[in-house]
């Protein structure tokens, strides 16, 4: 049917087939990326919760396979801010750190969502592209009927079948794209929640360390007095 189809219908079919290949390629690549990122984030967050201080958390997260993830970026930013803000107001440190951690979370979420918008585009447009191919093919079939001066089904059926094939390919391209896009949307939302949990753990460590430091300073002042 494809070989006998009109050139426009052929272009539509090839384009839809290419869109389907793109969908499954994105699914494979982004799926692996998401699985690895979530596993790394879970492992790093577990290390954060087990640590007793920010220094210990930094050492633990930056060791092993968790050192390259977004959680490691959160910990490194916290360590940098704590070092550069030594001697400054604790409230100011926590406020600046919360802002920067939010930026890191948002950046990691955007990076993880990169490429998934293509799936939404394919899911939204592929059925209409297939429908265009069908309309074009049926139009050519009717033109063929008028030229042959016959309504014999054997003459009409091949052209209509070719036209309907375009719609079928459009649905084959669109349905998986929509399903995969929704799966990725939920998975990325879960990844963002993991990063939010890690960010909260980092802030707790920073707050706890600052309180310890303040208590030591107060004790030293009391001893001198």
Q: Helices 7-50 and 70-84 meet at what angle, rounded to 10?
A: 50
- pTM summary value: 0.81
Size of the chain, expressed as the number of residues it contains: 225
Q: How high is the pLDDT of residue 120?
A: 94
158-172 pLDDT, tens digit each: 667 777 888 899 999
The pLDDT value recorded for residue 1 is 58
Q: Which residues of the chain have pLDDT under 50?
A: none
pLDDT in the model for residue 185 = 95
Quote the pLDDT of residue 190.
94
Q: What is the pLDDT of residue 60?
A: 85
- Residue 152: the pLDDT is 65
Domain-wise residue ranges, the chain: 7-217
């Amino acid at each position: 049917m494809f070989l006998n189809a009109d050139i426009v219908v052929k272009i539509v079919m090839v384009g839809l087939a290419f869109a389907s290949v793109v969908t499954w390629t994105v699914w494979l690549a982004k799926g692996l990326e998401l699985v690895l990122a979530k596993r790394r984030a879970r492992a790093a967050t577990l290390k954060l919760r087990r640590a007793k201080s920010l220094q210990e958390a930094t050492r633990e997260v930056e060791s092993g396979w968790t050192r390259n993830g977004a959680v490691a970026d959160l910990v490194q930013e916290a360590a940098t801010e704590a070092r550069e803000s030594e001697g400054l107001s604790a409230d100011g440190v926590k406020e600046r750190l919360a802002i920067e951690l939010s930026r890191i979370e948002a950046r990691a979420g955007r990076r993880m969502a990169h490429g998934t918008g293509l799936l939404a585009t394919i899911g939204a447009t592929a059925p209409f592209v297939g429908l265009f191919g069908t309309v074009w093919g049926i139009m050519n079939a009717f033109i063929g009927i008028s030229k042959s001066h016959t309504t014999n089904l054997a003459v009409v059926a091949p052209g209509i079948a070719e036209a309907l094939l375009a719609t079928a390919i459009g649905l084959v391209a669109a349905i998986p794209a929509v399903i995969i896009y929704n799966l990725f949307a939920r998975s990325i939302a879960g990844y963002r929640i993991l990063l939010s949990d890690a960010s909260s753990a980092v802030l707790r460590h920073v707050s706890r360390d600052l309180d310890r430091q303040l208590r030591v300073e107060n004790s030293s002042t009391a001893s001198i007095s």
